[in-house]
Structure 1
Amino acid sequence: MGLALDVMSAAEREQIARELLTECKPARKAGKLSANCPFHSEGTPGNAFFYNPEEDYGYCFSCGQGGDLVSIFNAVTGRVPDDPEGFKEFVARYCKEGAEKLRGQISRREAQGWTPKKAELPPASWGDKALEFVVQANAELMNDEERLAQLLRWGITEGAVRELGIGWNDETTFRKFTHWGLPYEENDKGNERCIMLPRGFVFPGFRRGVPVRIHIRCEDPDMPDLPRYFQIMGSSNVLYLFGERKASVWVVVETVRDAMLLWQELSPLGVGSMAVGGVSVRPDTDAERILRSAEFIMVALDNDDAGARNSWHFEPWNERSRFSWCQRYAQASRWLVPAGIGKDAGDLPGAGVSVLDWFMAGVPAHIRRRLLRRQEEIRGGQNRG
């Protein structure tokens, strides 16, 4: 949100962080604070979460979640990081003296509106190490019948595993920052920081054949505090893109696994899929160009409060400046997985529901007719073959 960075000094931000965070103390690296993570319950509290008052950003090296002071406030008060009610409460509690400046900030944001940012991709050295890891994990998975069967229960075939580079990491390991091409950085104990690679399914995203973002679906029973989908340190926050960039129809979902399933089922019809990899992640300039030229965008974020808030925003005090999918893109429409089945597209196969049928039910009639004709052409070609 950037509010605290704009209307407060670094000293004021530090004071509020010390008030909000548990076991907050100066970190070994000057200018930072270490504390218990506000975003998840730690089995071994401390030494993983750090907040930088100068930059107004905190990050947990255990769960992989981060955010600014407003996000931390929301987490501490039991809200999701981008909760608008928490934003307003933060303003009322901490920004009284900066209210005039805040009103000016909101007015400027309303005039300017939200704008996409150019993606910051990982350094080439990180990409090289990430590619080695992905190739190794994919080879491991292709020889693991049990894990392939688990993916098939989720609807993902062996062909998709091979094509998309999905893998399996059999053991939680830690790699030093510099071994993965990242700048040297120390933890609170004075040792070099490490990248965690949890045990679980590896889902990579590529740009020009090189991994730029990787999530691991954690399957380590000894690490229950980790989020279900853990983003590897050093990954970019670009959207996962699957399909031809010139596709006219796109489906936007939260997890990369769901986007891969949709690509598997819909790409023969020329439909692309995107995963944000975190409900508050926004399109970069590359994704913005694709979405702007699309004929139709199906917004299938999870069927929950966070998915709804990021699909639409109705706050009159923030409606122009705050991003939401269905207000940013006039050709976008929200389409839910029924609550009786689950909350996302990945729940469809387990319920015996066709991904294609679910998708077709949510597209406009003229697009559905065109896609059905394409489907008949594909079937006709297969029959002739």
Structure 2
Amino acid sequence: MTVTRRKFLALGAGAAAAATGLTGCGSRSSLGGSDQLSMWTWVGSVNDDLIAQAEKAIPGYDDMRLAMTRIGTNYKTKVLTSLAGKSLVPDIVAINDDVATYFPNADQFHDLNELGAKDRESEFLAWKWKLGITADGKMMAYPMDTGPTALFYRTDMLQKAGIDTDPAAVAELAPTWDAYIELGKKLKAAVPGSAITDNITGVYLYALAQQSKRYMTEDGQYIGDQDHIREQFDLAIRVVKEGLSANAQQDTTDADAVVTNGKLVAYNAAVWWAQLGPKNAAPKTKGLWRVTAAPGGAGNRGGSFLAITKYCKNPEAAFAFISWLESAKNQAQAFLDPVLFPSTPASYTDERMTAPDPFFGGQRIVDVFGASAKKYPGAYFSPYDSIIGAPIAAELVNVETAGKSPDLAWADAQEQIERELTRAGAI
């Protein structure tokens, strides 16, 4: 299946048509007063102390101040509705890792290269920088955090299985997914009921996060039915069939419970899971966790961006703000709270990031996640990735929870994807 360039550009043209009437700087439809830069984001996306500074004055623009709104639910819907309505649009918006789904609306955002972004490119991870650039070379989104992956594991559980708990030793023991499965079997024999993933999609999504290609090519060719996807699909099913999944599905109380009760003894996950997983669900396990290089190689799952809308009252001041907020120094501060892993490698040697983490037995976890962020090969994310990935994940759940045939699940997922891409006008 192919998304033709004509169709892709037509989507952009449609967005441009929808944006007709935008006046750019000083538009009466922008949100906030003339001395304010309005910003929308979600809870837990920025460092409060840094925002407080900008709320007093934008660095370099003493006559401008930030007015930030945290939106708790339906964030993306509210942003897109605001853009479509051409009224009360914020000057700056945060965008999650589905940044490519905004590309058809790129004409409603400033090209950040025209505001000076190009001069800062060398400060960022190359693959992260590239994710904010549209097919026609427009830089629509500026890098915020990333989601490098690593293997989390419980030292006390490995000790019960007679396994060396040193991070380097564990990495050597499980450099591949096959070796990780063997490690899981050994752990389960020593600790009955233990698991090395929360659920089937946990394996699939993190294995996919290590790949250099995903569902589509940059020229619009659908490749989500090829071997590199089927292999990760089959890998996830294999982990389940080996009895190594906790079968704790996403968005259920079981997801926290398997961490709290110690059933999940190891997990290939993104850096942000440290906070959402063990630190939140199992605080009494402080000191028992470690991290090491993930089986299968470096990966990334998650990370966000900032964009400046065409309604912005002062684009230059807005860019001064976002480039200040996402400097290496300030990204290091955001790692402390709200635990956002930087997209600026210079942050990885900042003493605020290199400090030993007591929850991980005094380990310098930045060394593991920093290496993963640097080694991750990067991959192309298309505007259609979310509608492609959803049927695959749903069918994997059917395999784990209902015993559906893997081949039938794969076939049904591909059939659903074809319907969704057709409905979206992509094929």
> Which bracket does the TM-score occupy, shorter chain normalised?
under 0.3
TM-score w.r.t. the length of structure 2 is 0.23
TM-score w.r.t. the length of structure 1 is 0.24
Whichever structure has more strand as a proportion of its residues is 1
Whichever structure has more helix as a proportion of its residues is 2
